[in-house]
Amino acid sequence: MAKTWLITGTSTGLGRLLTERLLERGDRVVATLRRNGALDDLLAKHGNRLRVVNFDVTDTRAMREAVSQAFQAFDRIDVVVSNAGYGVFGAAEEASDEQIERQIATNLTGSIQFIRSVLPHLREQGGGRIVQVSSEGGQIAYPCFSLYHATKWGIEGFVESVAQEVAPWGIDFIIAEPGPTATQFADALDRTQAMPLYEETPAGEIRRALASGTFTIKGDATKTVNLIIETADMPTPPLRLALGSTAYHSIRNALTQRMSELEANKALTLAADKGEFNE
């Protein structure tokens, strides 16, 4: 049976590919974007199965109005995909206040407000599914991506909490965590003004790796999108879905290290309890 999807950030990258794939298989899509005309070719091809809405996720009022109109336009929206986002690239000290504020407003606050805006509608229709497109960077961290990581770690914590709050209404979540994937993400990075003192540090190393093309990107965008769709079609999907071998190994290594550190410091950790609770 055909489904109806609401997807943010559909101009390029995974959002665009996701929209294309869903329309090809006969689903209906409400696609949101900031740039007029980016989906005109899909509108011409798929007609009334595609509805395009223009807004910026940092404009909460406009977003809420658009979400309400989307739910009014269709009897039901089965899957909501929070995908809009980008990355600030550079050492934390290099970033301007404006870069920090925009990164948080788009990736974190924008995603939070988008999810908040759809929850009442999903409750009213008797349930639904929300896919939050995060990143392996929601569980691990690279130098020069500190602000991006702050938003991805933040949205993952938000989703994990909200998933527990709304489960009684038949609303569930998937957090998609792709590793480095061949999309336009790197081209759209908001780069800081590099400070020479970081040249011979891990920040400088990753800057050179990206500039030279030696930073390994194994993820295939089409396969990634297909797996997100496959998972969203499952009756009971996982809360977190790591995508790609880089994501698998980097997340696994990070979790293993955290467990090791937790156990190594068990005595110190438990000593923080009141005496009668120590074990």
Active-site residue list: 134, 148, 152
85-99 burial: b if 16+ Cβ within 10 Å, else e: bbbbbbbeebbeeeb
Going by C-alpha positions, the residue among 115, 114, 125 that lies closest to residue 72 is: 125
Contact 87, 190 (CB under 8 A): yes
What is the amino acid identity at position 138?
A: G
Please state, in angstroms and rounded to a whole number, the distance separating the CA atoms of residues 124 and 114: 17
Please state, in angstroms and rounded to a whole number, the distance separating the CA atoms of residues 130 and 134: 12
- Angle of the 146-166 helix axis to the 110-125 helix axis, nearest 10: 20
Going by C-alpha positions, the residue among 188, 204, 205, 184 that lies closest to residue 196 is: 204
Please state, in angstroms and rounded to a whole number, the distance separating the CA atoms of residues 54 and 35: 7
Virtual CA dihedral for 160, 161, 162, 164, nearest 10 degrees? Answer: 90
DSSP assigned state of 201: S
Q: For residue 185, what are its two tokens?
A: 């993400």
